[in-house]
Structure 1
Amino acid sequence: MTDEAPGGRRSRLGQALREVDRRESLLRTARFVRRLAPGDSEMGDPLSTAGRLPSHRLARALAGSPEPSVLRELGLTAVQVWQAFTGSRHATETAGITILFTDLVGFSTWALEAGDDAALRLLREVGRVTEPEITRRGGRVVKRLGDGLMAVFADPGAGVDAAVEACARVAELEISGHRPSLRAGLHAGTPRKLGHDYLGVDVNVAARVADAAAGGQVLISAPVRDALDPERFEVRRKRWFRAKGTPRDLEIFSVEPA
């Protein structure tokens, strides 16, 4: 009997480790752990890994591999938990900003019938036409939320302009015979900044304002209305607005260019 060469043993060991690292049952377990862990379980996209902190650089390195990997999932989980606990100690209050939320009306129902390929095409097209409207007006996309997004603006008027134009651009799209409809809501306040994200009551209010909008409609809260140039926008009060997690005296308004 001849001894196996060291190189052959290393090769077989490496192959075995790669197989374990890609085993589907272990991948499902690792992803389940990520969903349960504190922090952003979607970490790995370009937005969540942007920045110069060591955790951002590590997350970018881990997320850069296109292959499914148990070690990748566990590594991102560790970074996720690290950022959740270290970031919570460094949450800071921001100066006044305007928060925008958007989403597609009836997207889930349509996607169920249209299928994943058509749904993905639609989301890509919506992102293609809406996100430039935000960035060219000085806004920043904070995060993408399935069929919508959250963005922030220093200037309320720029936020409203971006929302109105985004709704108009989406209305021009057609995917597999479907004409999508985007709705938007904006609220101005001083949310807490946590890393690249924001949290607090003002964020919740902005999301609820968007939820109250109809397809193609832009709704704003009173703080946004008060900051707008009345010669540029036509504003109408929306009656009978009540939403969980919002102040009882919150007033919202529909807005259109004058």
Structure 2
Amino acid sequence: MDSDDATPAAADRLARLRAGAVRAGERARELDRSPALQQAVKRLRGVLPGDAHFGDPLSLGGARHTEAVGRAVVGLTGDRPGVTRELGLGGLQVWQSVLERFGRGGGEHEVVLVFTDLVEFSRWGLRAGDDEVLRVLREVGDAWEPPMTERAGTVVKRLGDGLMVAFADPAAALAAVVEARRRLGELHVEGWSPRMRAGLHSGRPRRVGGDYLGVAVNTAARLGEAAKADEILISGDLLRRLDATTVTTRRRRRMRLKGAPADLEVYAVEASG
């Protein structure tokens, strides 16, 4: 066989190989886009340990390695749903859960969580109108946010007429809330007296981006909801981290808060200084 005959044969083999690679790629893309396979993988993620929603913006806002890799997976796949994307995020989901189980994921730091809101604000707002509501909310923010941030509190989110704040220091958290209540009491609004209620709890919530999730968060929020006007409720966990000589409390018995531990001890702060 001369070289002239060999050249067309080699070119033909190369063309067949390329065509096969194209067909294989197309088949792989079809499988990746298969709705049935995507649903199967999502169901699998639902029974795997860890956060089955790992991969959404809320779960990828942090600085840990799993979150950084998760952002890379999402970046490579864009907004396109696919089996490859789900498998990659599923693997990271399991890995993150393993890290957390052994104390290397979220929740390794003790955090004091504070929830505050305004009593009877919604009822007053219906009468006052939007313009007046916005004006008063700005004044409220000027009154109760500085005491938080001046004591190294981080405002996690603003909840309409409320705040969620995180602290590292229990004493600073309580002092900030007491000062915020005092400053709020100096505001004068026609037809309504701004009064605050607050709940504080310490625990090891999971950090997810700029937010916190977990039982500790639910507990602090439920304490805030259960408080009366001008009342500050704290958990027994937080009270045990405070200097007993600087705070006077009264035990609130027979309180069962939905979403909080059944054995939660609740105390109303009567004086702090």
> Residues 189 and 113 (structure 1 numbering): CA distance in 2 closer, same or farther, change over 3 Å?
same
- Counting only pairs closer than 5 Å after superposition, residues 96-245 of structure 1 correspond to structure 2 as 96-245=110-259
Equivalent residues, number: 183
Q: What does the per-residue CA deviation read over 1:14-49, in whole Å, with 9 as the maximum and x for residues that have no partner? A: xxxxxxxxxxxxxxxxxxxxxxxx9689xxxxxxx9
Distance across 2 between alignment mates of 1:118 and 1:240: 39
The share of aligned pairs that are identical, in percent, is: 48
Contact 2:62–2:209 at 8 Å: present in 1 too?
A: no
| Cα contact 1:156–1:224 (8 A) shared by 2 | yes
Separation in 2 of the partners of 1:148 and 1:39? 26
Does residue 1:257 correspond to 2:272, yes or no? yes
For residue 259 of structure 2, what is the amino acid of its counterpart?
G
1:245 CA drift (Å): 0.9
Matched, 1:95 2:100: no
Q: Which residue of 2 aligns with 1:34?
A: none
Taking structure 1 as reference, are residues 40 and 217 closer, same or farther at Cα in structure 2, changes over 3 Å only?
Answer: farther
Report the CA distance between 1:118 and its aligned residue: 1.3
Per-residue CA deviations over 1:238-257 (Å, capped at 9, x if unaligned) read 12211111111101101121
Letter in 2 for 1:206: A
Deviation track 1:76-111 (CA, whole Å, cap 9, x = no partner) reads xx7xxxxxx89x956722400100000001111110
Maintained 8 Å contact 1:171/1:216: no
Query: Structure 2 vs 1, CA of residues 186 and 39 (structure 1 numbering), >3 Å: closer, same or farther?
Result: farther
Q: 1:39 to 1:122 in 2, by over 3 A?
A: farther
User: Cα RMSD (Å) of the superposition?
Assistant: 2.6
**1:115 shift after superposition:** 0.9
How does the TM-score come out when normalised to structure 2? 0.62
Offset from partner CA, 1:46-83 (integer Å, 9 cap, x none) = xxx999xxxxxxxxxxxxxxxxxxxxxxxxxx7xxxxx
Give TM-score scaled by structure 1 length: 0.65
Following the alignment from structure 1 to structure 2, what is the Cα–Cα distance between the partners of residues 110 and 39? Answer: 37
1:196 shift after superposition: 0.7
Query: Which is further off, 135-144 or 235-244?
Result: 235-244
Decide which structure has greater helix share: 2
CA-CA distance at 1:168 after TM superposition:
1.3
- Whether contact under 8 Å (1:238, 1:252) holds in the other structure is yes
Indicate conservation of the 8 Å contact 1:101/1:184, yes or no: yes
Is residue 62–residue 208 contact of structure 2 (8 Å, CA) maintained in 1? Answer: no
Displacement of 1:150 in angstroms is 0.3
Flag structure 2 segments of 5+ consecutive residues without an equivalent: 1-54, 64-78, 80-88, 97-104
Q: In 2 relative to 1, CA 40–104 (structure 1 residues): closer, same or farther, beyond 3 Å?
A: farther
| Structure 2 contact 199–221 (Cα < 8 Å) conserved | yes
